[in-house]
Amino acid sequence: MTRAPLPRYGSDPLEEGLSLTPLPDPPPEEGLVVERSPEGHLRVRRLGPGAPGALLVDHRSPESARRFSEGKKGLLGRATGIARGSRPVLWDATGGLGRDALQLARLGATVTLWERDPVVRALCREGLERVGEGEDELAQAARERVTVREGSAVEGMAEHLRSGASPPEVILLDPMFPERGSALPKLEAQMLAALCGEGGCPEEERALFEAAVALRPHRVVVKRPRHAPEIAGQPADQRFEGRSVRFDLYLPRTPSGA
Ligand SMILES: C[S@@+](CC[C@H](N)C(=O)[O-])C[C@H]1O[C@@H](n2cnc3c(N)ncnc32)[C@H](O)[C@@H]1O
3-state secondary structure 92-136: ECCCCCCHHHHHHHHCCCEEEEEECCHHHHHHHHHHHHHCCCCCC
pLDDT value at position 11? 80
pLDDT value at position 65? 87
Whole-model pTM? 0.92
pLDDT value at position 3? 66
Q: Quick check: CB of 211 below 6 Å from ligand 1? A: no
Ligand 1 centroid – CA 121 distance (Å): 9
Q: Quick check: CB of 176 below 6 Å from ligand 1? A: yes
Ordered domains of the chain (ranges, CATH):
8-47 (no CATH), 62-250 (3.40.50.150)
Ordered DSSP codes for 10-51:
SEEE-SSSEEE-PPPSSPPSSEEEEEE-TTS-EEEEEESTT-
pLDDT value at position 157? 98
**Which residues, at least 6 apart from 246, have a Cβ–Cβ distance to it below 8 Å?**
223, 224, 225, 226, 228, 239, 240
231 vs 136: CA distance, rounded Å: 37
Q: Which neighbouring-strand residues pair with 241?
A: 246
**SS3 of residue 150 by DSSP:** strand
Ligand 1 centroid – CA 244 distance (Å): 19
pLDDT value at position 95? 98
pLDDT value at position 151? 95
**Which residues, at least 6 apart from 145, have a Cβ–Cβ distance to it below 8 Å?**
105, 109, 110, 111
- Pick the closest to residue 112 from 158, 145, 81, 71 (CA basis): 145
Where the chain has pLDDT below 70, the residues are 1-3, 14-16, 179-185, 256-258
**SS3 of residue 9 by DSSP:** strand
